[in-house]
Structure 1
Amino acid sequence: MKQKKELLQTDLLIIGGGAAGCIAAIGAKEEVNLDVLVLEKAEISRSGDAGGGNDHLLAHLNTGEAWDTDQAMAEYYTRVSQGLIDIRVANRLHISRIREIVDKLESFGIEMRDPKTGQYIRTKSFGQPGPFFINYKGKRIKPILAKEVKKRGVKVLNRINVTNLLTDGKDVVGAMGFNVRSGTFHIVKSKTTLLATGDAIRLWPSSSGLAFNTWMSPYNNGAGHAMAFRAGAELANMEITVNTLVPKGFSAAGLNAFVGMGAYFLNSRGERYMQKYHPMGEGAPRYLLTLGTYRETLEGRGPCYVDCRHLPKEAMHHLTTHLLPVDKDTFITFCKQKGLNLKKDVMEIEISETQSAGIAGSVSGIVIDEEGKTTVDRLYAAGACTVPSFGLSGALAIGYSVGIEAAKAASNIRASGSHSDEEVEKEFQSVYAALNRKEGFSYQRFENKLRQIMGEYVGDIKTEKGLEIGLQKLGELERRVDDVKADNYHELMRVTEFKDLLLIGKLIAIAALERKESRMGLSHMRGDYPNQDDAHFHGSMILKKNGGRISVTFRPAPGP
């Protein structure tokens, strides 16, 4: 197959058309009249973690209650992140913007209030001081955002798998990638570039055995993290991962729905066990819910269950009609196929696959400042790939804020920088090598091996020796990258995803080896260093490309 090259120019390039990318484009166009281009490897109306819909939005509304203020949200932010997030960045990009985002979503036609009462339905979970989560009708949030993007004249190119950033040797001046249907290679020159590529999923095995049955979107492969790192940007705390509680054998979002409506967690003895691990019981932070469940199982009191049998009729109806089927269309179908009636039966739960995801409390990702800038000039980032991120609420508020900042910066730059034709040709040859290879192995075989290594050596309980073996095996896998073969452009996309995942896995293992403590439950548990050590490790592990090496340094947590 012969591929053609196409050169494009824009003022602001946004890579990723999920919630953060869409709202960033909206913010940019509302701030400055400039050209904005969004590149999305799927289709922006249903891409990203919110692609299937969303039923809850973290928000404080400044109603006058002590828990419902900017300050209370900032204190919650600091507590669940254990102070590892720079609260100045969170305040400027996220916390100060939340109320505006809620109003904006309503202006777009998203039903945020209960139509019967005209009030917000708000629930409390995950260690919140009050009911921060707005339950809303968000099944069509992505199609609605996509419509608003197009209404503002933003150019969107769907089915473009971006493989690398374009630089002038120092600054980022655009990006490169290919159309997963036609194979056309796109070189995009831009004045500023904004990464909004989401989480890093598919790195660890799912208990269902299905690579794409994951809690968050399985199509988010850490591309932004990988591209930013290769361009010289700093990443923070990649070793501190996340997981959640899911139905046994079926990874699905829904924990917040259960906890917010008042469900109980029971061990095999029928005991509610979370009170042993946190005074808020089932309302504890997510990482303690998974840790408590892990300990119950480890100490012989498993399996564990979620119990909704005590819920009032109205609460059960809200849970099974307006919450569980929104984030995961097939949740209720799963229950029916299993013969589970949540009104009468307890549902067995387990700890999900590990992910590097941008949930509330997550502290890993691309480092950004109070304007959303990374540590590389002209490169911005927002959403689940950044620190901070904070779930959909952060994706929307930070995305909107950073879109504005990146647009303002672009308006003050006369032209995109120069680039090397040699750099473009090198990327072109690298991208299509797997497609031109006559012999080799499928991406599935390599991805499965990657997940096996991560599960066995960079899994829930890590040790120095295990991490060293894991890094050795990841290195062996890296040396065999030229054995991966693709038969079509869709498979070629999967090959490039695998390469990014492999890099992310390596970065996670390197940082985990350096953090000689345990922190945030299963998020980072070292079997050989089982205790949290604030005296030496209350801060961030910073990863950065240093020539051909990966450097890792410790940065103390920012002050208040």
Structure 2
Amino acid sequence: MADHYIMNFNTRDLPGYNSDFIILGSGIAGFFTAILAGRLGAGVTVLTKQTILDSNTDKAQGGIAAAMDTEDSPELHYQDTLRAGAGLCDRGAVRILVNEGPRRVLQLMDMGARFDVEGGRLALTREGAHSCRRILHASGDATGAEIQRVLNKQALAEKNIEVLEQHFAVDLLVRDNVCYGVLAYDYKNDTLKVYRSRAVILATGGVGQLYAHSTNPEVATGDGIAMAYRAGAEVMDMEFLQFHPTVLNLPGAPRFLISEAVRGEGAYLRNGRGERFMPRYHELAELAPRDIVVRAILEEMQHDPQGGVFLDLSHLDTELVLHRFPNINRTCKGYGLDITRDMIPVAPAAHYMMGGVKTNYFGETTIERLYACGEAACQGVHGANRLASNSLLDGLVFGGRIVERTAGLWREKMETRVDFAAELPYMNEPLDCLALQEELQALMSRYAGPLRDRQGLEKVLSYLSELSDMENTAAQTPRQAEMRNRLMVSRLVAETALMRTESRGGHFRRDYPRPRKSWLKHIILRK
């Protein structure tokens, strides 16, 4: 069957390569998993769409949450995660996250990660919905860059790991619900290639680029989720997207994240009249769960469209601000803002996907020999709303569990004789990917963003249905294939958002503004 492929190919005519593991993605989930597998003796090939620096991990500022302090505990971390998840967290997954998290963080430190220290102890900060200080950070507000530095160094030095940049994974090679490898496009050599393996691990990240304003790099287009869904894997919780409340909002400036740790250190949110407004919306004020802060900001902006919303750090100790947030200070300074005195204009932007490819506690998907971890995966650990700084920990914990689950798999005999092919008609008219991308982003931002309703979601689905003929044609370029992924994942988000007739966590319906007990369940889709 060739109905889940989007490019024409025949594996008999393409260069082929064998590996024990194929890992798609080079962020924290992909590289940490690759390093652990490589150290156990497995041959690992990592394919990454652009370079090893193009990931959400590298952009992460705030830090990584783990109960590392004597005044903290996995139980407290567990309760905080459940509260943020708005009733939809898988409790077993959360137990695994908080109990195994400290060990995985120590592994990361053993690899060379240097987290900030004060007085001989880890320097910990607090973020929204955390009951205590438990966020490890590095170089003040460059935690992700430090983690990516360490993982890049370790992965590139490991003799059992081959890292291939500029390789776009097009589709999974699946037959009879077994994954045999990946069809990938090699940009450098302008050709399709076949990568066969005993196991394929999706660590392809999120979907932020479905929206006009996002904190995600341009590679975050939902490719792994789309590939898995096309191949028959189940996806779950696709309606739950997290928008970060505080992203730099200056004309002509990129949407630069202003870490939640800024509010954790005491910064205030103010409206255009200079009023601190968050205490009116939640007892935790600026440290309320992210979805509540997002809606509060949007409400204030609606009341005063010209006024805007701002982060105010001027009442904080100048030395503390400059020490904790050097990256934010440097970026804002480039736009003429002194964060110790000037208020920073902010607005929400697409940030994190709570849903993804459905897995069990060991990263196993509903397709045999296909695994997923990190933001592309969904085992229910984040529920309807991710607790701040749990995402990096998620990649470590569940990536590590995949390696433990598959220990010894590479010693089994590998089937290499299975061939695959697809022959689809080409589109009659050329596809303007840029125009289509901009139209889609505008629609998703307006109707499937932080505020939704039936009428708007139906507009998105109507627009997508007009393009449904594309599903029966072949993409001629990787850009077209990526566009197909954007369209598919947008449809999954809009469909599930329309199904869920309530508001919960990151999903808010203006026509159903309250949570409903009957919706204490997950939406699982399968092609």
Q: TM-score, normalised to structure 1's length?
A: 0.83
Residue 9 of structure 1: aligned partner: 18
* Structure-2 change in CA distance of 1:55 and 1:124 (3 Å): closer
**What secondary structure sits across from 1:499 in the alignment?**
helix
The partner residue of 1:146 within 132, 144, 152 is 152
Distance, in Å, in 2 between the alignment partners of 1:418 and 1:453 is: 45
The partner residue of 1:472 within 462, 467, 481 is 462
Residue 552 of structure 1: aligned partner: none
Residue 306 of structure 1: aligned partner: 311
Distance, in Å, in 1 between the alignment partners of 2:524 and 2:156 is: 37
CA drift at 1:396: 2.1
Give the conservation status (yes or no) of the 8 Å contact 1:166–1:176.
Answer: yes
CA drift at 1:143: 3.1
* Structure-2 change in CA distance of 1:516 and 1:124 (3 Å): same
* Structure-2 change in CA distance of 1:342 and 1:6 (3 Å): same
Give the conservation status (yes or no) of the 8 Å contact 1:27–1:400.
Answer: yes
Residue 169 of structure 2: aligned partner: 162
Describe the superposition over 1:222-245 as per-residue Cα deviations: whole angstroms up to 9, x where unpaired.
Answer: 111111111221111111211112
**What secondary structure sits across from 1:130 in the alignment?**
coil
Distance, in Å, in 2 between the alignment partners of 1:24 and 1:379 is: 14
CA drift at 1:445: 1.4
Give the conservation status (yes or no) of the 8 Å contact 2:170–2:183.
Answer: yes
Residue 555 of structure 1: aligned partner: none
Residue 234 of structure 2 is aligned to residue 234 of structure 1: yes
Distance, in Å, in 2 between the alignment partners of 1:495 and 1:334 is: 36
Describe the superposition over 1:395-436 as per-residue Cα deviations: whole angstroms up to 9, x where unpaired.
Answer: 12222222332344x2464223753433xx44xx78xx68xx
* Structure-2 change in CA distance of 1:497 and 1:334 (3 Å): farther
What are structure 1's unaligned runs of at least 5 residues? 207-213, 326-331, 487-491, 546-560
Residue 270 of structure 2 is aligned to residue 272 of structure 1: no
Distance, in Å, in 2 between the alignment partners of 1:222 and 1:128 is: 29
Greater displacement, 279-288 / 472-481: 472-481
Tell me how many residue pairs correspond in the alignment.
498
CA drift at 1:496: 1.7
Letter in 2 for 1:477: L
Distance, in Å, in 1 between the alignment partners of 2:32 and 2:431 is: 39
Letter in 2 for 1:84: L
Give the conservation status (yes or no) of the 8 Å contact 1:478–1:502.
Answer: no
CA drift at 1:539: 1.7
Distance, in Å, in 2 between the alignment partners of 1:177 and 1:451 is: 26
CA drift at 1:160: 0.9
CA drift at 1:144: 2.2
Once the two structures are superposed, the pairs formed by residues 168-179 of structure 1 within 5 Å of their partners are 168-179=175-186
* Structure-2 change in CA distance of 1:258 and 1:444 (3 Å): same
Distance, in Å, in 2 between the alignment partners of 1:178 and 1:518 is: 40
Give the conservation status (yes or no) of the 8 Å contact 2:138–2:146.
Answer: no
* Structure-2 change in CA distance of 1:504 and 1:80 (3 Å): same
Calculate percent identity across the aligned residue pairs: 25
* Structure-2 change in CA distance of 1:217 and 1:335 (3 Å): same
Residue 202 of structure 2: aligned partner: 195
Distance, in Å, in 1 between the alignment partners of 2:129 and 2:462 is: 39
CA drift at 1:380: 0.8
Residue 109 of structure 2 is aligned to residue 126 of structure 1: no
**What secondary structure sits across from 2:56 in the alignment?**
coil
The partner residue of 2:358 within 360, 364, 367 is 367
The partner residue of 1:37 within 29, 45, 49 is 45
The partner residue of 1:104 within 88, 104, 107 is 107
Greater displacement, 139-148 / 227-236: 139-148
Letter in 1 for 2:418: H
Residue 495 of structure 2 is aligned to residue 510 of structure 1: yes
Give the conservation status (yes or no) of the 8 Å contact 2:294–2:450.
Answer: no
* Structure-2 change in CA distance of 1:178 and 1:141 (3 Å): same
Distance, in Å, in 1 between the alignment partners of 2:369 and 2:475 is: 35
CA drift at 1:336: 3.5
Give the conservation status (yes or no) of the 8 Å contact 2:170–2:184.
Answer: yes
Once the two structures are superposed, the pairs formed by residues 80-479 of structure 1 within 5 Å of their partners are 80-92=84-96, 94-114=97-117, 117-137=119-139, 138=143, 139-153=145-159, 154-206=161-213, 214-244=214-244, 245-249=246-250, 250-300=254-304, 302-321=307-326, 323-324=327-328, 332-337=330-335, 339-352=336-349, 354-355=350-351, 357-358=352-353, 362=354, 364-387=355-378, 388=381, 390-408=390-408, 410-411=409-410, 413-416=412-415, 419-422=418-421, 425-426=422-423, 440-479=430-469
**What secondary structure sits across from 2:130 in the alignment?**
coil
* Structure-2 change in CA distance of 1:285 and 1:120 (3 Å): same
* Structure-2 change in CA distance of 1:166 and 1:263 (3 Å): same
* Structure-2 change in CA distance of 1:469 and 1:47 (3 Å): closer
Residue 551 of structure 1: aligned partner: none
Distance, in Å, in 2 between the alignment partners of 1:453 and 1:268 is: 27
Distance, in Å, in 2 between the alignment partners of 1:508 and 1:349 is: 25
Describe the superposition over 1:175-197 as per-residue Cα deviations: whole angstroms up to 9, x where unpaired.
Answer: 11110121221111111111100
CA drift at 1:509: 1.0
Distance, in Å, in 2 between the alignment partners of 1:276 and 1:64 is: 34
Residue 509 of structure 2 is aligned to residue 529 of structure 1: no
Letter in 2 for 1:496: A
Distance, in Å, in 1 between the alignment partners of 2:61 and 2:348 is: 21
**What secondary structure sits across from 1:440 in the alignment?**
coil
Q: Structure 1: which 4+ aligned runs deviate by more than 4 Å?
A: 52-55, 480-486
Letter in 2 for 1:336: G
Distance, in Å, in 1 between the alignment partners of 2:259 and 2:295 is: 14
CA drift at 1:133: 0.8
CA drift at 1:54: 4.2
**What secondary structure sits across from 1:242 in the alignment?**
strand
CA drift at 1:85: 2.3
* Structure-2 change in CA distance of 1:36 and 1:291 (3 Å): same
Residue 22 of structure 2 is aligned to residue 18 of structure 1: no
Give the conservation status (yes or no) of the 8 Å contact 1:41–1:158.
Answer: yes
CA drift at 1:480: 5.0
Give the conservation status (yes or no) of the 8 Å contact 2:124–2:134.
Answer: yes
Give the conservation status (yes or no) of the 8 Å contact 1:201–1:219.
Answer: no
Residue 69 of structure 1: aligned partner: 73
**What secondary structure sits across from 1:82 in the alignment?**
coil
* Structure-2 change in CA distance of 1:372 and 1:441 (3 Å): closer
Letter in 1 for 2:44: V
Residue 495 of structure 1: aligned partner: 480
**What secondary structure sits across from 1:376 in the alignment?**
coil
Distance, in Å, in 1 between the alignment partners of 2:331 and 2:24 is: 34
CA drift at 1:493: 2.9
Q: TM-score, normalised to structure 2's length?
A: 0.88
* Structure-2 change in CA distance of 1:374 and 1:441 (3 Å): closer
RMSD over aligned Cα, in angstroms?
A: 2.5
Distance, in Å, in 1 between the alignment partners of 2:188 and 2:410 is: 33
Give the conservation status (yes or no) of the 8 Å contact 1:47–1:142.
Answer: no
